[in-house]
Amino acid sequence: MTGADLSQHHERRPPAAFHASDSSTLPWQSGKTPLMLAPMQGLTNRALRALFIQRVRPDILFTEFMRVNPVAAARRLSAGDLREIVPSEGGVPLVVQLIGHGLEALVSAALAAQDAGAAHVNLNLGCPYGRMTTGLTGGGMLRRPELLKAIIPELRRAITGTFSVKLRSGYEDPGQIFSLLPLFEGAGVDFIVLHPRTVLQEYAGMADHGVTAAVVRATQLPVIANGDIRTAADGRRLLEDSGAAGLMLGRGAIADPLLFQRLRGLAPEEPGREERRAELRQYLYDLVERYGKLFCGENQVLGKVKGVLTTMDDPDFEKERKRLKKARTVGEFCAELDRIG
Ligand SMILES: Cc1cc2nc3c(=O)[nH]c(=O)nc-3n(C[C@H](O)[C@H](O)[C@H](O)COP(=O)(O)O)c2cc1C
């Protein structure tokens, strides 16, 4: 598959599932192969999303997960999260991701998100942290799949826009996803995002995209493939081998935002080191500037930008990252950036 193919139409059978809401449509143009920016708590805030919109314009954006308050019925989502909610940013659809537990809490949070303007809602069934708590949120929900039998259809009924799920392949059994597909299809979930590691695996090993390909074969729902896409070649191979409807880019895009353009054939597929250096410098400058406008105080800005550096596990720039992480002020950080370029 070439980069140009990514922006061309490809045939897809419509899901046979009943949709509770007739107005429900996919957040991307039918037949296109969307490239999504993954939700990443602590990273993909409004400022970073704006940077990505300006530089590479992902086809779909996600919020960081929004925690659903299990006890305060009148305030399921925080005021800060509610302020974050819009149907789209710069014309790019924004999917609001919820994480929580309890049927009533999740449904009322989805309604609150909708009232605040969400057009697209996603349920997190993948986060591996906090899974031992009694709440069983995120990936922990896969420990109690029987609870999902009520939660998924009720959420579908409540959500008038698109409703999707983002999940691991299973809690400990990578084959668990296959037992959940009839539930997602029957309820009328619009699409699924699959990160094919188990919850117990956390981030160890590699994503097993053999599972992605098998899931694509087993369902008519659009499957978005996620996990370990670091280069354009990785992404293309994955689309070809799995037949996935689209890709979601996480750590690979944080390390190299131009990965979106490389996949589209609009930036060199294998950039040279000098080109990557210049890109890194410009990207981090831009980020510091945007964080300066969003966050209060130098420490917060530095903390956030260092969080991005921590996620960039590119061995080529190990030395530079180490030096940048030592900066104690924004001034020192920018001086280090100047040494890069
Ligand atoms: C720092 C960090 C924060 C994350 N936060 C979220 C989140 O809020 N919601 C979510 O569904 N997944 C979250 N994830 C998982 C990613 O969305 C993605 O599924 C995972 O990193 C695998 O994709 P990748 O290999 O492209 O990074 C997070 C991952 C990282 C590394």
Residue 111 to residue 264: CA distance in whole angstroms: 36
Mutate to test the pocket of ligand 1, among 64, 68, 195, 305 (most ligand atoms within 8 A of CB): 195
| Angle between the N-to-C axes of helices 273-294 and 46-55, in degrees from 0 to 180, rounded to the nearest 10 | 140
Nearest one of 84, 35, 37, 27 to 62, comparing CA atoms: 37
Q: Is 127 a catalytic residue?
A: yes
Alpha helices by DSSP H, listed for 92-175, are 103-115, 145-158
Q: Does residue 156's CB lie within 6 angstroms of at least one atom of ligand 1?
A: no
Q: Does residue 190's CB lie within 6 angstroms of at least one atom of ligand 1?
A: no
Q: Which sequence spans correspond to the domains of the chain?
A: 4-263, 273-340
Residue 171 to residue 63: CA distance in whole angstroms: 24
The torsion angles phi and psi of 6, rounded to 5 degrees, stand at: -65, -25
pLDDT at 58 over 60: yes
Q: pLDDT value at position 7? A: 45
Q: Does residue 231's CB lie within 6 angstroms of at least one atom of ligand 1?
A: no
Q: In the chain, what is the straight-line distance between the N-terminal and C-terminal CA atoms, in Å?
A: 34
**Cα-to-centroid distance, 15 and ligand 1 (Å):** 27
Ligand 1, atom nearest to 193 Cα:
19
Ligand 1, atom nearest to 99 Cα:
9
* pLDDT-based confidence at residue 5 (cuts at 50, 70, 90): low
Q: Does residue 228's CB lie within 6 angstroms of at least one atom of ligand 1?
A: yes
* pLDDT-based confidence at residue 253 (cuts at 50, 70, 90): very high
pLDDT at 263 over 70: yes
Ligand 1, atom nearest to 122 Cα:
11
**Cα-to-centroid distance, 52 and ligand 1 (Å):** 16
Neighbours of 36 (CB within 10 A): 26
* Among 82, 118, 123, 127, the one annotated catalytic: 127
pLDDT at 11 over 60: no
Protein residue with its CA nearest to atom 18 in ligand 1:
250
Q: pLDDT value at position 25? A: 79
- Worst-scoring range by mean pLDDT, 13-27, 134-148, 170-184? 13-27
* pLDDT-based confidence at residue 313 (cuts at 50, 70, 90): confident
Q: Does residue 38's CB lie within 6 angstroms of at least one atom of ligand 1?
A: yes
pLDDT at 264 over 70: yes
Please, are residues 77 and 109 in contact by the beta-carbon 8 Å criterion? yes
pLDDT at 251 over 50: yes
Q: How far is CA 314 from CA 115, 188, 252, 256, 320, in A?
A: 41, 40, 9, 9, 10
pLDDT at 184 over 80: yes
* pLDDT-based confidence at residue 17 (cuts at 50, 70, 90): very low
- Predicted TM-score (pTM) above 0.85: yes
**Cα-to-centroid distance, 149 and ligand 1 (Å):** 25
**Element housing 47 (H / E):** helix 46-55
Residue 219 to residue 76: CA distance in whole angstroms: 33
pLDDT at 193 over 80: yes
Q: pLDDT value at position 30? A: 87
Q: Does residue 62's CB lie within 6 angstroms of at least one atom of ligand 1?
A: no
Q: Does residue 197's CB lie within 6 angstroms of at least one atom of ligand 1?
A: no
The one-letter amino acid at 248: M
High-pLDDT (> 70) share of the chain, %: 91
**Cα-to-centroid distance, 296 and ligand 1 (Å):** 25
Q: Does residue 252's CB lie within 6 angstroms of at least one atom of ligand 1?
A: yes
pLDDT digits 0-9 by tens, 119-176: 999 999 999 987 655 678 999 999 999 999 999 999 999 999 999 999 999 999 999 9
Q: Please name the CATH architecture into which domain 4-263 falls.
A: Alpha-Beta Barrel (3.20)
pLDDT at 222 over 50: yes
Q: pLDDT value at position 134? A: 61
**Cα-to-centroid distance, 177 and ligand 1 (Å):** 18
Helices and strands: H and E segment counts in the chain: 13, 10
pLDDT at 340 over 70: yes
Mean pLDDT within 49-57: 98
Q: pLDDT value at position 133? A: 59
Question: What's the whole-number average pLDDT of the chain?
Answer: 91
Protein residue with its CA nearest to atom 14 in ligand 1:
40
pLDDT digits 0-9 by tens, 277-305: 999 999 999 999 999 999 989 999 999 99
Q: Is 312 helix (H, G, I), strand (E, B) or coil?
A: coil
Task: State how far Cα 19 lies from the chain centre.
Answer: 24
Neighbours of 97 (CB within 10 A): 24
Q: How far is CA 194 from CA 48, 180, 210, 242, 316, in A?
A: 23, 12, 12, 12, 29
Residue 17 to residue 147: CA distance in whole angstroms: 20
Q: How far is CA 70 from CA 102, 113, 148, 164, in A?
A: 7, 15, 16, 21
More confident site: 24 or 89? 89
Q: How many residues does the chain have?
A: 341
Q: How far is CA 165 from CA 169, 218, 324, 332, in A?
A: 12, 17, 36, 42
Protein residue with its CA nearest to atom 29 in ligand 1:
40
